[in-house]
Structures are given as structure tokens and as C-alpha cells.
Amino acid sequence: MVCTAGIALLGCGTVGASVAERLLHERDAIERRCGVRYELRAIAVRDASKPRPGSIDPRLFTNDARALVNDPHVDLVIECIGGTTQAADLIENALERGRSVVTANKDLLATQGPRLQSLAAARGARLRYEAAACGAIPVVRMLDDALAGDRIDALAGVVNGTCNAILSAMENGAEFAEALADAQAQGYAEADPSNDVEGIDAAHKLAVLMQLAFGLAVISPRVRHSGIAAVTKRDVARAQMLGYRIRLVAAAARTPAGAFAGVAPVLVPQDHPFAAISGPENIVRVVARDAGPLIMRGRGAGGPATASAVLGDVVSSLRALGERHDIARTARALEPALDVAPIFADLPRHPELPRYTLWDNTFLDAPVSHVNRALS
Ligand SMILES: NC(=O)c1ccc[n+]([C@@H]2O[C@H](COP(=O)([O-])OP(=O)(O)OC[C@H]3O[C@@H](n4cnc5c(N)ncnc54)[C@H](OP(=O)(O)O)[C@@H]3O)[C@@H](O)[C@H]2O)c1
């Protein structure tokens, strides 16, 4: 019998609410990309009576996450709860039943990833976790997929946006405590910021990246880490005078002598790409034997950015389910492109070199307003 793919969403907080909104309101586009039809069966939360975004049907909420995972019509479980106890239990239960699982849970992957991956393999299930390292930056896929035919020798990056936002504010003259309070007010830092400022969150992400890059069952307690809590405004100013910026860098390498890893506040030359990021951004540099160095930079956290990574995994999971099971199909087809207008036509030219258009990033960052301006 042909059916639709059933999705269970666990958690409807910062990340889960963005995922739910996309799944519910962009269904046609998502189904076109996967080639299969799906149904969001329900959303499990801790307290189903809490007010939720008005765009989500209140009848979808349930307090019973376990019953939802066990619903026989569920094929794919998306875990956006966080933590390492209930989330682990629910994911394990889903994998035991052969369900596909997508999670954003770095704490869990960094401490129990190797065990959960073995369980998934034993049950013929798939565990995907693009959002567990560096939010919207597709670094998991790059390591696990695009570079799977190469050998990764090293990777490094600024992978904790909260610390970077604090250090950036300190470069503008704030004391550590002021910068932290500001990051909390802007929603970058949690009420208890210790995981971020002590380097634990960066160690979690580094462990996840090392599992993928080096194929090693590394867990985060094995990664030596220090954070930024002892960094002073004076250190930051002095580093700047000497031509550096302080960044919380996570780095790892695999050499014939073994694996090396660590998280620490380090001095980065001011013209280095790690110094160029400010605020809550992340950056990752991967060195592969044949591909050479590759850099990705972008939003490391936040509801919509993290949901982007979760939904990429959802599309991959639904495509795979569509290939294995008799799920209702929808055409995976390109839209007809009737006309393609010249994109450089409206950009200014340099007065001294008028044959050349002046490149301006804002035009790619906001193409809709750019095109509207050109048409008006
Ligand atoms: N926030 C980010 O920018 C970000 C970035 C990358 C990765 N992540 C990861 O994404 C995950 C979710 O983070 P978040 O920021 O969205 O967390 P959050 O805002 O605290 O939301 C957690 C959600 O889980 C629900 N929940 C908690 N315990 C539950 C249980 N036992 N059963 C069912 N539901 C339960 C909560 O329900 P109530 O609403 O009823 O309390 C809430 O809806 C975490 O693993 C986090 O590390 C987050």
C-alpha cells in the first residue's frame, strides 16, 4: 500500500519551532525536493499547555514523546530536545525500531555518538546530525560526503558563536562581564553560560568533527579544553596592539604519531580569516590531502539557521526512505526557467575602469531588494 512518510518532531523550542514552521508551511517545496509526500504526525514537548507560535496547529502537540516515537506510522524522528538523558533514550528507542533519526544534539553526539552510530548500523537505520556542529555551516556533510574519498589531515575553527560575540564586544571596549551580559540579552548566551565560556561546547563540536574527519571514536571528555572566562579587556587590547585578535580556536590533526586536539583562546594574526569573523559567526578550515585547504564560514546558531541544517537532513532522510519504501511520490523536477535576466546590468562601474563592474556583496546577500531596485 502506498503511504506518506510519517514524521515525529521532538521539541519545539528555538530550533524545533523553526523546523515545525518550515515543515508545515513549505511542504510543497520540501516535498518537491525529496520526491516523497510526508505528514508531520505530532510534536512532543515537555509542557503541551505552554503558548506556542500561532502558525503551528495546537492539536499537533503532545506531552508523550515516547508514544510518538513508537507510533507505527512514524518513519522519521527529528530530535530537537537537547541534553543527554531523555533525548538519548528517545533516539535509542527510534533507532531500535529502525526509524531514521535527525538530531541537532551536539552534547549527545559528542559523548555517545560512536555508540549510537553502531546501534543505527546494527538496525539498518540512519542517524543524521548536520546541525550538531556549527549550525548552518554544512561541515558534517562536507566531511562525511564530499570529502569521503580524500584523507583529512587537520581541521580547525572558531566554532562557538557565544565566545566570539563576547570577544568581539571586548575588542570594542567592553569588560568580560558586560560582554557576557550583552550576549545573554541578545540571546546568544544561555542563562548558564558555562558550557560556552569554559570551552565545553567547542570541545563537543570538535569531537563530532573528529569522528567524521578521522573516523575515530573520539568523545569530548578526551579533548583538552580551556575557555575564555579568564580573558581580560587588557589582554584583548594588548593583543590588538601587537597585531593579533584573541579567538577561541578548536583544532585537531591526525598524524602518523597519533591524533591531537584541543580548544583554547589563542592569538590569531589580524589578517587571518579566523580574526575576520565577528559576533556570533563560526568558521571552519579543513585540510584534506588532495583537496587542500577548504574554508566555510557562516551562522553557527539560531533557530532558522540551525533549522536549515536539520531540514537538509530531513530531505536526505525522506529521499532515502522514498527509495526503500512504497511512499507516495511527487515529481522531483526543475521548474521551467523562461527567462534569465542579466545580473550585472544594474551594478555600478568603477569611474577609472568603466569596463568593469564593481563587485558588491550586498547584492547577493539581498537579491530580492537588489532586483526590485533595478526594476523600479
Ligand atoms: N539554539 C541553537 O541555536 C542551537 C544551535 C545548534 C544546535 N542546537 C541544539 O538543538 C537542540 C535544541 O536546542 P534549542 O535551543 O531549540 O532548545 P530549547 O529552546 O530549550 O527547546 C527544547 C525543547 O525540547 C522540549 N523538551 C524538553 N524536554 C522534553 C521531553 N522530555 N520531552 C519532550 N520535549 C521536551 C521543550 O519543551 P517545552 O517547550 O515544553 O519546554 C522545548 O520545546 C539542542 O540539542 C541544542 O544543542 C541548538
Give me the pLDDT at residue 328, please: 64
Helix (H, G, I), strand (E, B) or coil at 86: helix
Q: What is the mean pLDDT of residues 311-330?
A: 86
Q: Look up 205 and say whether it is catalytic.
A: yes
Q: What is the mean pLDDT of residues 1-6?
A: 76
CB distance 213 to ligand 1 below 6 Å: no
Domains recognised in the chain with CATH numbers: 5-135+304-324 (3.40.50.720), 139-300 (3.30.360.10)
Residue nearest (by alpha carbon) to ligand 1 atom 17: 13
- The string of pLDDT tens digits covering residues 221-231 is 999 999 999 99
Give me the pLDDT at residue 338, please: 79
The whole-chain average pLDDT of the chain stands at: 93
Of 22-36, 283-297, 327-341, the least confident: 327-341
Q: Which residues pair with 181 in a beta bridge?
A: none
- The string of pLDDT tens digits covering residues 130-176 is 999 999 999 999 999 999 999 999 999 999 999 999 999 999 999 99
Confidence of residue 325 (pLDDT cuts 50, 70, 90): confident
Q: At residue 356, does pLDDT exceed 50? A: yes
Confidence of residue 346 (pLDDT cuts 50, 70, 90): confident
Confidence of residue 376 (pLDDT cuts 50, 70, 90): low
Radius of gyration, alpha carbons of the chain:
22
Ligand 1 pocket mutation, candidates 18, 19, 22, 46, criterion most atoms within 8 A of CB: 46
What are the backbone dihedrals phi and psi of residue 154, each rounded to the nearest 5 degrees, phi first?
-160, 160
Q: At residue 202, does pLDDT exceed 50? A: yes
CB distance 143 to ligand 1 below 6 Å: no
Q: How far apart are CA 220 and CA 228, in angstroms?
A: 18
Please give the C-alpha separations between residue 174 and each of 127, 238, 289, in angstroms, as whole numbers.
Answer: 42, 14, 41
* Residue 330 or 65, more confident: 65
Residue nearest (by alpha carbon) to ligand 1 atom 29: 46
Q: At residue 1, does pLDDT exceed 50? A: no
Residue nearest (by alpha carbon) to ligand 1 atom 33: 45
The minimum-distance atom of ligand 1 relative to the CA of 50 is 40
Q: How far apart are CA 31 and CA 142, in angstroms?
A: 24
- Indicate the burial class of 252 (C-beta count within 10 angstroms; 0-12, 13-18, 19 or more): buried
Q: At residue 179, does pLDDT exceed 50? A: yes
